[in-house]
Chain A
Amino acid sequence: MNRGNGETDRRRRFGILCESLRPDLLRFAWWLGRDRALAEDVVQESLLRAWKSFDSLTDESKAKAWLLTIVRREFARSFEKKRLELTDVDALVAAESAVLAAPGDTRTAEMREAIFRLDTDYREPLVLQVLMGYSTKEIAEMMGMQQGAVLTRLFRARAKLRQLLGLAAEAEA
């Protein structure tokens, strides 16, 4: 295969990956930043970074975890640049009301807002576990933490959600 066709194949494989994974990457970025425009920017920048280092991905079955880690790092960079930690969560809820809405499904809408209001420390592992389907061991690797710390955060995330939704609170782990 000549260089041009090899490059074409590389692009094709990357394009297919991006296309299939972009919705999940965007959701992950949105739940991290709670801002639609920021999520779009982070995913765009992440895909450009991913393209540059695509050759380092030796096992394409691990592409999703690889891309999520890139999104996570890119978000951290954006977060550092924009100092978003000072943002008022009520203002974020108002700004993202269109995404938070679940027409005709009050319980989902309430849960969505409750998750939205969780601290990032709790929200992120919950998204990786429930939405992305990763084990606590995999989440620990992605977040650079001990597995025990991830378990504690997940326990607390659910306990806080039960609290926010008026269900019985659990004893602290």
Chain B
Amino acid sequence: MIACLEFRRRVGAEPFVDDAEVAEHRRSCAVCARHQDELRAMDGLIQRALAVDLSAKPESAAAGATAPRRRFLAIAASLVAGIAVGSILLVLAPRASVAREVMGHVTREAVESMAPTKPLPAAAVAEVLGPDGMRLESSAGDVTFAARCVFDGRVVPHLVVRTPEGPVTVLVLRHRSIGKPLHIDEQGYDAVVMPAPRGAIAVVGQDIADLDGVAKKVFDAVDFGR
């Protein structure tokens, strides 16, 4: 039979170890059995502690609350300049960023996503939109490509819809908010990013005379769910 030290070495590494020698020692040594129980309880606490919530965006206020007091004056001094710069960035940066990311994603995937294919069955489209609680009505046009893509670190629905005016790529960006529609004309593509009930929706096309009209039609066909 293993000694107390060996028992504690094993359960210290694996509190829930399933081992005949450990079980035998546990039965014969109440002190070691209690020690193992404590370790098991501690593992429950470790598990809770490890399960950090990273779903929410970090709040600058939380970081500010922990900053040393001696930095207060420096922060205050920079506040006036910060507000001015921040206001400009607040308006321009997200718009520039979302434009760059939308165009980057569409151009990277154009060869695969825009290849002419048959319309996908409704179930395939539902499978892509379903996780976000959304649906697409058939009035938008036939969907020839539907996938959940990595975009800006999130997984987002990416569709190609065949409209009478031409095929358009649709990206549903529930994690991005914009205040007003954004028009982009880059790399041979035109895009419009519109505020949606939750987040934003980007519609990208090539050589489409009335992209705004097409985008509105697609937008109206999306049921954004709750």
Contacts and interface: CB of A to CB of B under 8 A. Distances in A.
Interface stretch (B149-157, B162-170, B176-184, B189-197): B149-157
A23 to B, nearest CB: 7
Interface in A97-146: 97-102, 105, 107-109, 111-112, 114-115, 126-127, 129-131, 136
B8 A22 contact: no
A160 to B, nearest CB: 11
B54 A30 contact: yes
B46 A155 contact: no
Contacts, number: 147
B13 A115 contact: no
B153 A161 contact: no
Given A22-B155, A154-B14, A27 B127 contact: no
Contacts of B150: 15, 18, 44, 47-48, 51
A80 interface: no
Nearest to A170: B12
B155 A99 contact: no
Interface residues of A, number: 63
B161 interface: no
Interface in B114-138: 115-118, 120, 124, 127-128, 131
List the 7 closest A-B pairs by CB distance, nearest first: A15-B148, A11-B147, A4-B117, A98-B62, A111-B49, A155-B12, A112-B49
